[in-house]
Structure 1
Amino acid sequence: MARGVYIHIPFCHQICNYCDFNKVYFKNQPVDEYIEAVGKEIEMAVSQTPEQFQQIETIFLGGGTPTALSAKQIERLLKLIGASLPTKQLIEFSSEANPDELSEDKLEALLAGGVNRLSMGVQSFDQTLLKKLGRTHANEHVFETIKQAKKAGFENISIDLMYGLPGQTMDQWQDTLERALDLDLPHYSAYSLIVEPKTIFYIQYAKGKLHLPTEDLEAEMYDLLMRRMEDNHKQQYEISNFAIEGRQSTHNKIYWDNDEYAGFGAGAHGYLKGKRYSNIGPIKKYIESINNNELPILHRHEVTNEEKCEEQMFLGLRKNDGVSFEEFETKLGVSMKETFGNEIAKLVREGLLIEDEKGVKLSRKGRFVGNEVFQQFLLGE
């Protein structure tokens, strides 16, 4: 049964140099037709398996950029969502947003349609770095948009930051952190840059033209991030996420809990009835599938018990609370210690994991090398 719903809006007015998500330039795209197709996909899925959607807790509008849509398009999208999904019972209804796209009428449309949380892509407060990233907003857009969002009635606002950027210095990162913390928001996400294939940064990296900070400098940036968030009473609850009490991202916790969720839209991914699936990516082919009254699922994969055990560990260990022995056995029918006893003992000896009577979690040292820790729980390796 789905705890959450992800809806993909693949349109952008500007393509960022680091982004590998399914996206296209907004101009000359069948945007209105796409919105209708998403509404129809949701309607078809809910009508086929209504029991899967009775207890959803969250909806997340991602992209691309949902706020690339006009206010009228946002209004129409949210109306279609509300026609098929029980939006009034939601704990959290989030939308990603760009600071230079959130006009007053869009904010009103989002709020009227049930959205109660904004996740804004700020990334940096250094204009030189923003230009390198392919971002189009200025710092003034961030400050003004947050002010307008609060005035409109949004209390739950998060911003994304990035470190380990090309040419980024510690001074630049510290300045971005301080400006972000001065906003005193309830939630912050901060991610180190990963150079993904099929991105502009990847092409530059392959040509030797992308000059990244050293691993040591990136580790220092992460250390500063954790210290400054703690100093400002923003509790770290996941490797890259910090919040005041009660403002942790419920939707993202669904992923880290390895629970089921539905994905709608071109290129969206979902996890239902023990199967992971992905939708058709090209927008016209996606719309064509919907118009033929067919769910646009491209791939399905039934997750094996071994894979479920692996995922429970490497997703759950992202959380500061880690993975519970009891929850692992209740959910998967096997003991964590019997399945991963040797791996756990090794990582505890190395100071990367902490084990107590409840379960296991990353140590502070382990957070710096999380991916290396997670790899230890791949049974097929």
Structure 2
Amino acid sequence: MIRAAYLHIPFCTHICHYCDFNKVFLKGQPVMEYLQAMEQEMKRTIAQFPTDQLHTIFVGGGTPTALDIRQLDFLLTSIHNSLPFVADDVEFTLEANPNELSREKLQLLKEAGVNRLSIGVQTFDDELLKHIGRTHRQTDVLRALEAAKAVGFSNVSIDLMYGLPGQTLAQLQTDLALAFSLDVQHISAYSLIIEPKTVFYNLMRKGNLSLPDQEEEAEMYEEIMKKMEENKYNQYELSNYTRPGFESRHNLTYWNNEEYYGIGAGAHSYVNGTRNVNARPLKKYIELIQQGKLPYIEHHEVSETEQMEEEMFLGLRKIEGVAKQRFYEKFHRSVHDVFAEVIENEKEKGLLEETATHLRLTHRGKLLGNEVFQAFLGTT
């Protein structure tokens, strides 16, 4: 049974230099028409792929908080009208930009049942924020967090980035120290990845982007893991750290290789063993909805072999690793029956270790995770 839904809001008031998500400038866009199309997609999706309740809802982007109060209210009302869930149990997350979290918006979110905020901080260094194309500043973050607490939010996550152009280890250490002083419940810390069709990609191609080298980036990751542990944040996934009980249930859906709905332009879904991709351009997405269709432009029925591979490279992102019993229950085969040679090779390299119940990355394996994940692809 499907327990998770992702909703994509593609509008931004500014495009960050590193972002390759499906997004458009807010100004002049058919925002209400898009939100109405999303409402229809939600209803149509639930009708075709029913579930009894949802445990997690995640509204991401783009920037959901780029919506004005009227638009945000319509979105939240349409979620309540279209998706079945138990309000007392659901983890309802909304991504936010610090400089767009007004007290009025926070109050609306709280009253509509949003109980988790994911705030895009990236760095507290104002010069670095300018350099990566962010429009908020450190003071905006502090103000937003204070307002969120005042409204009653008690589950707040912040995103940090490292390996940024010109970023030093000392700057990262300052970011971490300030993050810990804010006493948020969850911190995600992602390394910068240069993606095609971004400002940074174009600068890199021209030789105008100065990035930390691999050794410096690894040192930053080591520092993050060390400081998180010292400050009582448990690393439960390669890039995610939490106070006890505040793990992201929605993201665990992905890492546990479970199915989920994906609503909105460019959204991905995984339902009935099939991965679907929605139309990305707003006009095409809205047209497909108005024609009475689901807006899928790609379908891929996931074979059992692919499911087993995904179980490994997604599950190994979790610090606890892949549960051997869970693998057997899902596929009626032991993980060693399927991947014996790969497992032994990665163990010999010192990248993988085994307990009585799990296969998991070693400390060194965390630094070279992509190599381990790649080893499980195309081997069965």
Query: Could you tell me the TM-score, scaled by structure 1's length?
Result: 0.98
1:120 counterpart letter in structure 2: I
**Cα contact 1:289–1:295 (8 A) shared by 2:** yes
Q: Kindly report which structure 2 residues correspond to 1:49-60, keeping only aligned pairs within 5 A, or say none.
A: 49-50=49-50, 53-60=51-58
- The answer to whether residue 21 in structure 2 is matched with residue 21 in structure 1 is yes
Matched, 1:158 2:157: yes
Residues 306-344 of structure 1, C-alpha deviation per residue, up to 9 Å, x if partnerless? 111110000000001100111111112222101111111
Q: Does 1:78 align with 2:83?
A: no
More deviation, 108-117/234-243: 108-117
Q: Secondary structure of 1:28's partner?
A: coil
In the TM superposition, 1:1-381 aligns within 5 A as 1-50=1-50, 53-89=51-87, 90-379=89-378
SS class of match (2:236):
strand
Q: Give SS of 2:57's match.
A: strand
Cα RMSD, aligned residues only? 1.1
Residues of 2 paired with 1:332 and 1:193: CA distance? 35
Kept in 2: contact 1:162–1:193 (CA 8 A):
yes
- Percent identity among equivalent residues? 51
Q: Give, in angstroms, the shift of residue 91 of structure 1.
A: 2.8
TM-score (norm 2): 0.98
Report how far residue 88 of structure 1 moved.
2.8
Structure 1 unaligned spans of 5+:
none
Structure 2 gap ranges (5+): none
CA distance in 1, matches of 2:208, 2:198: 14
SS at match of 1:213: coil
Deviating beyond 3 angstroms after TM superposition, the runs of 4 or more aligned structure 1 residues are: none
Tell me the CA shift for residue 103 of structure 1.
0.4
Work out whether residues 71 and 106 of structure 1, in 8 Å CA contact, stay in contact via their aligned partners in 2: yes
The number of residue pairs the alignment matches comes to: 379
Contact 1:277 1:301 in 2 (8 A): yes
2 CA distance for matches of 1:171 and 1:49? 50
Deviation at 1:380, TM superposition (A): 5.1
The residue identity in structure 2 corresponding to 1:48 is Q
Cα distance in 1 for residues equivalent to 2:28 and 2:332: 51
Q: Does the aligned pair in 2 maintain the 1:276–1:302 contact within 8 Å? A: yes
In 2, Cα distance between equivalents of 1:125 and 1:361: 33
Distance in 1 (CA, whole Å) between partners of 2:44 and 2:259 is 19
* 1:221 Cα deviation after fit: 0.3
SS of the equivalent of 2:100 reads coil
1:309, 1:87 → 2: CA distance? 30
Distance 2:85 2:304 in 1: 32
Distance 1:12 1:83 in 2: 25
State the one-letter code of the partner of 2:74.
Answer: R
Alpha-carbon contact 1:87-1:114 (below 8 Å) kept: no
- Equivalent residue letter for 2:152: G
In the alignment, the residues of structure 2 paired with residue 352 and residue 285 of structure 1 have an alpha-carbon distance, to the nearest angstrom, of 45
